[in-house]
Amino acid sequence: MRALTSELGIYAAASAAALAVDIGVLTALVSGAGWQYLPAAILSFIVGGIFLYGVCVVFVFQFRRIDNPALELPCFIGLGLAGLVVNTGVMFVIVEGAHAHYLIAKAGAAACTFTTNFLLRRRVLFTPSRPSG
């Protein structure tokens, strides 16, 4: 339980840094390059996810189930697709339904995806398999 609590705290800090990367890319694409907010949100989420992967394998998780980063990264991003679906859906509802600014929507979406992504990634990629029986 102590390892989970420790990893969760470090993951929270790493996620905050990844969220800053995500928001920076999102803002640059929407406000700077004139992209629509949803395609920009998808790309920025992926960029933030790649950044988070690098931080997680170096600083967050003590065990790695997959020894090959060329396989581990796509799995990490793949597990994040659940978060991407939630991220995109929440942003759409908040922007279109509540007529809020896309960055307000991003904050709501980030809050909804944090726990799901941590638990999925930790369970599938960063804990040892338990022998059956």
pLDDT reported for residue 80: 87
- pTM, full prediction: 0.84
Residues 14-20, mean pLDDT to the nearest whole number:
96
| CA–CA separation, 56 and 41 (whole Å) | 22
pLDDT in tens, 76-85: 988 888 889 9
pLDDT reported for residue 119: 84
pLDDT in tens, 36-54: 999 999 999 999 999 999 9
Kindly list the domain boundaries of the chain, sorted by start residue: 2-125
pLDDT reported for residue 105: 96
pLDDT in tens, 72-119: 988 998 888 888 999 999 999 999 999 999 999 999 999 888 888 888
Residue with the two structure tokens 């980030």: 110
pLDDT in tens, 18-32: 999 999 999 999 999
pLDDT at residue 130 greater than cutoff 70? no
Higher-pLDDT residue of 131, 36: 36
Instruction: Using alpha carbons, list the distances in angstroms from residue 83 to 5, 86, 117.
Output: 21, 5, 6
Distance from chain centroid for Cα 49: 5
pLDDT at residue 120 greater than cutoff 80? yes
- Beta-carbon contacts of residue 35 (< 8 Å; ≥ 6 apart): 29
pLDDT at residue 129 greater than cutoff 80? no
For the chain, the first-to-last Cα distance in angstroms comes to 22
**SS3 state of residue 23:** helix
pLDDT at residue 131 greater than cutoff 70? no
Q: CB–CB of 65/127 below 8 Å?
A: yes
pLDDT reported for residue 77: 85
